[in-house]
Homo-oligomer: A and B are copies of this chain.
């Protein structure tokens, strides 16, 4: 009736409400998780402060408060990714009590973990590409590779460990890229052929 410009009450709620402040401990952790989601969906190239903030439902300014730069977010996100895979790797191989069980552990690792439906294999390839030009990320990949090899060397000699590590890499990558991914039986066949 009076029109929006006629109201003289300057204490009224401003037209654009300020977002309520939230108590949000471990927002930093949530942001790292959101970063991994964005990387998986849009790739490192499509990962921006604004996109991560949107996924985490957080204002843009929060990004620069918690992280000095985009590089820092990427480094922390990929570190978490590599650690989570390396931990599974460790657990499977530590649990194996002899060589035969170790072979089964490797097979299970590939078929049940690395090629599991929910597992974002593209995240690993994104890491490799990013690491090619980011020394900090190269440290992450190298530590991860070392850890994998160490776990394998619990049961296999160093030469075999290195070769199997490469084979695992190739099998997962190939399955991920193919329209016609390898079946668990084919994975088993390839690994057993190599290790038995």
Contact = CB atoms under 8 A, between A and B. Distances in A.
A174 interface: yes
Interface in A167-185: 167-171, 173-174, 177-179, 182
A132 B125 contact: yes
A194 to B, nearest CB: 6
Range of interface residues on chain A?
A: 35 or more
A133 B43 contact: yes
A25 B159 CA distance: 52
B177 A141 contact: yes
Interface in A117-156: 122, 125-126, 128-129, 131-133, 141-142, 145
A28 B178 CA distance: 31
Given A122-B129, A129-B122, A194-B194, A174 B178 contact: no
23 contacts: A44-B45, A45-B45, A46-B133, A122-B129, A125-B125, A125-B129, A128-B177, A142-B178, A142-B179, A145-B174, A162-B174, A165-B170, A166-B170, A166-B173, A166-B174, A166-B182, A166-B190, A167-B167, A167-B170, A168-B170, A169-B174, A170-B170, A173-B173
Q: So how many copies of this chain end up in the complex?
A: 2
A145 B45 contact: no
Nearest to A144: B177
Contacts of A141: 177
Given A128-B177, A145-B177, 11 more contacts: A43-B133, A44-B129, A46-B133, A122-B132, A125-B125, A129-B129, A131-B177, A145-B174, A162-B186, A166-B167, A169-B169
Contact of A43 (B129, B166, B189, B190): B129
A159 B186 contact: yes
Given A129-B43, A145-B177, A189 B169 contact: no
